[in-house]
């Protein structure tokens, strides 16, 4: 390392983050000058394509607005240094930042090195500087190829949407595929036909207590838990109950097994996002923001800024030997030898992983969450605790439990019950991985229940027979956790891009996150339908996944980025030109409804405007009548009458003018009479308490940026519970849900339904405008 050779040389280190710079300066002292580029300094221009498609896709990089001063400062610092170390994040984006900084510092004629900091500890930093290399040009080319691909797609499809639908819309090579996945899942749910089925349970007792409940599992040779062999009706269930009441119950088999449950591997980026969403209710964006701060350095009192976790963008479960040794020593000391396996637990990394970095883990196992609690704010501590526990647990002994399965014969019927008894907690003493909230048709893992000591051939006493009605359930809407999981499984995007993808599709209002589930908006559905119809090979999961593999090959040096650009752009250009001619002009279209106009003899048609769909007379401009409408669950068009603004007796908290009741496309709302000078809209309570556990808020009516009414907790952003359907302060009589939701359909009119789909409760009420 140049700065450690005994002379008074001074080295310049350039990172992308000021926080990271402070942490480095603490460890490196006065022999280093540490500066921050504050992210990228050059990029493609904002207002033009910035790619010369006729000259081998040459990118036209420009200085990012506001970065000229930073570039001047970097050049000035570089002139005073003997060596320059470029140390942005160790990934494709970081390599691109390093490449562009190197380009602007070439004129200084100083030696330029690339340093890769995978964790910000003194030992790791000094080792990275000692082992610095040159800029990885293949890694930069992979980033550049992605950037150009995204630009070619986004900057050429988006203007098409502006022309055909409305200005301000956007399309993206990856974001549009994510929207498509959400739209297709939503359509699958809407088309799902629920089927009735019944389950039968027997409360049985052996020669000694306790009694236990076994489920009907077989009828003859057919397994009734199989989808094809379910009991279809109450009539069929009653016949079976009648048969069972006349027969003897005998134990046909008792199977006892000792089972092991192994710890989950340490976090990679995607699993960290998934688990933080499940356990902490954090969005992917929030998780990555907090993780970035933990990586770059937290002020630890007299110790100064300290990096608490390793680099958070990784797809590898690899752990270095020093970290393994440290974790094992901690486990032995804190939990005892029984909790420490004889050899370290090694986890396989997926074949598709780039394996450039270690797993996400604490930089020092001895920095326990308890020790860090006074230095970290609540959410940051919660994420650090999750990372710390996951890492330590991954090196602990497996959990051991005894599982007993009792099979019971009753004439031609078979019953089964499974129970488990925990014998040794192992890693579960510290951490247990969560699972997806929704399981298909309510299936769950076997519970820890106590079973009597039974032997094969034992006669059982029937205490009670019960039957229960069920309905098959559609696949669930995506949550943030399951969407990240699906993106990863389908090879769409990379772990480092999931948070940005999810944020973008919400910011563009193509999807909404209501009750922690993604649903497409009308706009999202419309745009998706247009893109899928006209760009089926681009807005495609398989194509997007194969393109990610191409980018990996560029990085590995097994593919040339220019050839990949040429292979992509030829067919894409042809498809684009065809779409310009054939795509439906939505903003100029009018969909007939058959509904009469109130001002003339014309019919109403659906048109698109800045705020979405509305009803207008077909005789425009001779008749300028417009009207708002609602859509029922079955797509029925239900006109909404507009009312004159009525004073509410309240004053605007923003400007002091009277607040008035108005009626918009999606119902009544309370707004300032000073509109448009004052655009304040007051949230109106529904009288329904927020159903989220431990939340003390209540559900209020709000209006989105696009003017659509929705309902959410008044404690937002602390509580993110939200609904599209109007909640009603009435408990469900079947499942005791604390509220019902109001639905409007052509067939049923206005009805109240239980929000719990497994319950299925519904009742009709007198139709009235809300």
- Residues with catalytic function: 311
What is the spatial distance between Cα 475 and Cα 76, in angstroms, rounded to a whole number?
59
> Nearest to residue 441, comparing CAs of 735, 199, 736, 191?
199
SS3 of 305-365: EECCECCCCCCCCCCCHHHHHHHHHHHHHHHCHHHCCCCCCCCCCCCCCCCCCCCECECCC
- Residue 676, class by beta-carbon neighbours within 10 Å (0-12 exposed, 13-18 middle, 19+ buried)? exposed
Q: Within its chain, how far is the Cα of 88 from the centroid?
A: 27
Pairing of strands 222-223, 603-609: unpaired
> Going along 472-543, which residue ranges are E strands?
511-514, 517-520
Contacts of 725 (CB under 8 A, 6+ apart): 711, 741, 742, 743, 755
What is the spatial distance between Cα 242 and Cα 43, in angstroms, rounded to a whole number?
75
Task: From residue 458, give the alpha-carbon distance in Å to each of 207, 408, 417.
Answer: 8, 10, 15
**CA dihedral (728, 731, 733, 737) positive or negative:** positive
Beta-carbon count within 10 A of 123 CB: 11
What is the spatial distance between Cα 687 and Cα 727, in angstroms, rounded to a whole number?
9
Contacts of 282 (CB under 8 A, 6+ apart): 276, 290, 379, 383
Order across the sheet with 726-728: list the strands: 726-728, 740-745, 749-753, 762-764
Beta-carbon count within 10 A of 139 CB: 25
Alpha-helical segments (H) within 61-203: 68-80, 92-105, 122-130, 137-164, 175-191
Encoding tokens for residue 143? 């980033």
Contact (Cβ atoms closer than 8 angstroms) between residue 405 and residue 255: yes
Order across the sheet with 658-664: list the strands: 646-651, 658-664, 667-672, 681-682
Task: From residue 647, give the alpha-carbon distance in Å to each of 656, 668, 671.
Answer: 13, 13, 10
Is-cis flag, bond preceding 210, omega within 30?
Answer: yes
> Nearest to residue 39, comparing CAs of 98, 107, 85, 118?
98
- Residue 738, class by beta-carbon neighbours within 10 Å (0-12 exposed, 13-18 middle, 19+ buried)? middle
Encoding tokens for residue 33? 């000058």
> Nearest to residue 312, comparing CAs of 415, 396, 383, 222?
383
Per the rule left: phi > 0, alpha: psi between -120 and 50, beta: everything else, 96 is alpha
What is the spatial distance between Cα 430 and Cα 471, in angstroms, rounded to a whole number?
38
What is the spatial distance between Cα 265 and Cα 718, in angstroms, rounded to a whole number?
30
3-state secondary structure of 168: coil
């Amino acid at each position: 390392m140049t700065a450690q050779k005994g002379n008074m040389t001074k080295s310049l280190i350039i990172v992308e983050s000021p926080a990271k710079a402070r942490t480095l300066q603490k460890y490196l002292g006065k022999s280093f000058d540490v500066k921050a580029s504050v992210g990228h300094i050059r990029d493609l221009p904002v207002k033009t394509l910035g790619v010369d498609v006729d000259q081998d896709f040459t990118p036209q990089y420009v200085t990012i607005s506001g970065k000229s001063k930073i570039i001047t400062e970097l050049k000035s610092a570089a002139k005073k240094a003997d060596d320059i170390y470029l140390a942005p994040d160790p990934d494709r984006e970081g390599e691109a930042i390093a490449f562009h900084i190197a380009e602007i510092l070439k004129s200084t004629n100083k030696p330029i090195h690339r340093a890769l900091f995978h964790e910000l500890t003194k030992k790791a930093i000094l080792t990275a500087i000692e082992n610095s290399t040159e800029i990885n040009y293949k890694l930069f080319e992979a980033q550049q190829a992605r950037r150009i691909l995204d630009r070619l797609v986004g900057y050429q499809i988006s203007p098409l949407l502006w022309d055909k639908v409305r200005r301000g819309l956007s399309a993206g090579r990856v974001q549009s595929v994510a929207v498509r996945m959400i739209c297709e899942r939503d359509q699958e749910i809407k088309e799902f036909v629920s089927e009735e089925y019944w389950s039968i349970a027997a409360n049985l007792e052996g020669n000694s207590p306790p009694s236990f409940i076994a489920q009907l599992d077989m009828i003859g040779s057919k397994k009734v838990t199989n989808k094809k062999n379910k009991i279809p009706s109450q009539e069929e269930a009653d016949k079976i109950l009648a048969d069972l009441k006349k027969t003897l119950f005998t134990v046909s088999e008792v199977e006892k097994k000792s089972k092991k449950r192994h710890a989950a591997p340490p976090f990679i980026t995607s699993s960290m996002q998934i688990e933080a969403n499940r356990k902490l209710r954090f969005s992917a964006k929030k998780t990555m923001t907090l993780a970035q701060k933990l990586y770059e350095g937290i002020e630890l009192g007299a110790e100064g800024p300290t990096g608490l976790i390793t680099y958070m963008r990784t797809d590898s479960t690899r752990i270095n030997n020093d970290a393994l040794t440290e974790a094992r020593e901690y486990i032995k000391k804190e939990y005892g030898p029984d909790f420490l396996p004889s050899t370290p637990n090694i986890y396989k990394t997926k074949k598709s992983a780039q394996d450039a970095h270690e797993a996400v883990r604490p930089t020092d196992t001895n920095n326990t969450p308890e020790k860090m609690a006074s230095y970290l704010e609540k959410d940051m501590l919660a994420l650090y605790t999750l990372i710390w526990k996951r890492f330590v647990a991954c090196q602990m002994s497996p959990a051991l439990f005894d599982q007993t399965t009792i099979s019971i014969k009753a004439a031609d019927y078979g019953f089964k019950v499974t129970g488990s008894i925990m014998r040794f907690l192992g890693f579960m003493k510290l951490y247990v991985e969560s699972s997806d909230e929704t399981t298909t048709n309510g299936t769950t893992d076997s519970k820890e229940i106590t079973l009597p000591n039974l032997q094969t051939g034992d006669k059982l006493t029937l205490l009670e027979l019960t039957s229960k009605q069920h309905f098959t359930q559609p696949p669930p809407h995506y949550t943030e956790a399951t969407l990240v999981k699906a993106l990863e499984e389908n090879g769409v995007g990379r772990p480092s891009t999931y948070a940005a993808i999810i944020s973008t599709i919400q910011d563009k209002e193509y999807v909404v996150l209501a009750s922690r589930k993604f649903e497409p908006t009308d706009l999202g559905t419309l745009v998706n339908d247009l893109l899928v119809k006209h760009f089926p090979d681009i807005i495609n999961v398989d194509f997007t996944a194969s393109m990610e593999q191409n980018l990996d090959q560029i990085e590995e040096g097994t593919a040339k980025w220019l050839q990949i650009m040429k292979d992509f752009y030829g067919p894409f250009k042809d498809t684009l030109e065809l779409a310009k001619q054939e795509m439906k002009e939505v903003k100029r279209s009018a969909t007939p409804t058959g509904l009469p106009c109130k001002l003339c003899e014309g019919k109403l048609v659906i048109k698109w405007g800045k705020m979405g769909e509305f009803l207008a007379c077909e005789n425009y401009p001779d008749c300028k009548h417009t009207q708002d409408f609602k859509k029922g669950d079955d797509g029925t068009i239900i006109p909404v009458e507009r009312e004159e603004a009525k004073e509410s007796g309240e004053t605007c908290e923003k400007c002091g003018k009277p607040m008035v009741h108005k009626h918009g496309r999606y119902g009544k709302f309370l707004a300032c009479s000073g509109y448009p000078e004052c655009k304040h809209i007051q949230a109106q309570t529904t009288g329904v308490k927020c159903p989220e556990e431990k939340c003390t808020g209540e559900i209020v009516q709000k209006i989105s940026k696009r003017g659509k009414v929705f309902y959410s907790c008044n404690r937002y952003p602390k509580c993110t519970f939200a609904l599209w359907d109007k909640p009603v302060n009435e408990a469900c009589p079947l499942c005791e849900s604390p509220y019902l939701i109001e639905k409007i359909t052509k067939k049923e009119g206005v009805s109240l339904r239980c929000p719990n789909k497994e319950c299925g409760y519904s009742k009709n009420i007198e139709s009235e405008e809300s």
